[in-house]
Amino acid sequence: MADEVLRCDIDQGVAVVTLNRPERLNAISLDLGRAYDACMADLAFDRDVRAIVITGAGRAFCGGADAGTLNRLATEDGFGLQSLGNESLERLTDAPEHLRRRYFVAAAVPQPVIAAVNGLCVGAGLSLAVSCDVRLASAEAYFCAIFARRGLVAESALAWTLPRLIGRAAASDMLLSGRRIDAATALRIGLASEVLAPDALLPHALAYARDIAENVSPRSARIIKQQLLAGDTQTLPEALEESVEATRASLATADFREGLAAMREKRAARFPPG
């Protein structure tokens, strides 16, 4: 699938979604936002896609919301935060309703989603990256919750998601100061899992995603994503009880039998589509 403002390339079970407005630092326009929504919804239903990598063309991951779009929206009667998603995301009926929105859709799709942050990751771009399951960063990347410096507030529930990712102190620093966080700092506070040389970032992200595609049960990945999301609001006894029930169900699946056979026969597992 290709689009003027977004590319999606699928190979060996991995989809690479590229925000493709390099001349605008991949800022999210209405067209790019809608293309991203539709692409992610399509990938959610593609049983041949077992992992997704999101990155940006050129020197940016995503420079935030497009300034022209913001100017227009600011003059309209009611910004309408519900517009951050569209009918494409309503197809994701297996995901909770509150995740069927642009800046949460990476959490709503069943596949693991890896952000390959190749450059600046600002504002709405930070929201996109935070919604992903894993963030890998170029050594030249930087992150910025710029909202307060634009007279805005912590958008897309970042005041809830960011502290759970990097801790209250680091989240307060980013959100209240709006300052840039370099890749080394992002690694230290847990915003990035790894920092790579710029030329090594995408190959490493692809290798990471292909390892998932080849060796991880799609069913297990889908349920683990659900468990991680549920854990944000569960008590420990609730999480324990749910994990017991989910484990019991897993023991009866073909995936578990295949995983055991692969271990016994010292070979790679051949899991069915999720």
Helix, strand, coil proportions of the chain in percent (round to 5)? 50, 15, 30
Q: 232 or 23: whose pLDDT is higher? A: 23
Report domain extents, the chain.
2-213, 217-265
The stretch 154-178 carries a mean pLDDT of 96
How far apart (Å, rounded) are the C-alpha atoms in residues 257 and 48? 21
Q: What is the mean pLDDT of the chain?
A: 91
Contact 17, 39 (CB under 8 A): yes
Q: Which of 51, 179, 195, 50 is nearest to 126 (CA)?
A: 179
Q: What is the pTM of this model?
A: 0.91
Per-residue model confidence as pLDDT tens digits over 33-56? 999 999 999 999 999 999 999 999
Question: Measured in whole angstroms, how far is the alpha carbon of residue 82 from the centre of its chain?
Answer: 19
Question: Measured in whole angstroms, how far is the alpha carbon of residue 126 from the centre of its chain?
Answer: 10
User: What is the third-level CATH fold of 2-213?
Assistant: 2-enoyl-CoA Hydratase; Chain A, domain 1 (3.90.226)
Query: Which tokens hold the place of 1?
Result: 């699938």
Per-residue model confidence as pLDDT tens digits over 120-135? 999 999 999 999 999 9
* Residue-level pLDDT at 80: 47
Q: 69 or 35: whose pLDDT is higher? A: 35
pLDDT range class, residue 89, cuts 50, 70, 90:
confident
Within 10 angstroms of residue 14's Cβ, the number of other Cβ atoms is 24
Q: Which of 9, 64, 23 is nearest to 180 (CA)?
A: 64
Contact 253, 274 (CB under 8 A): no
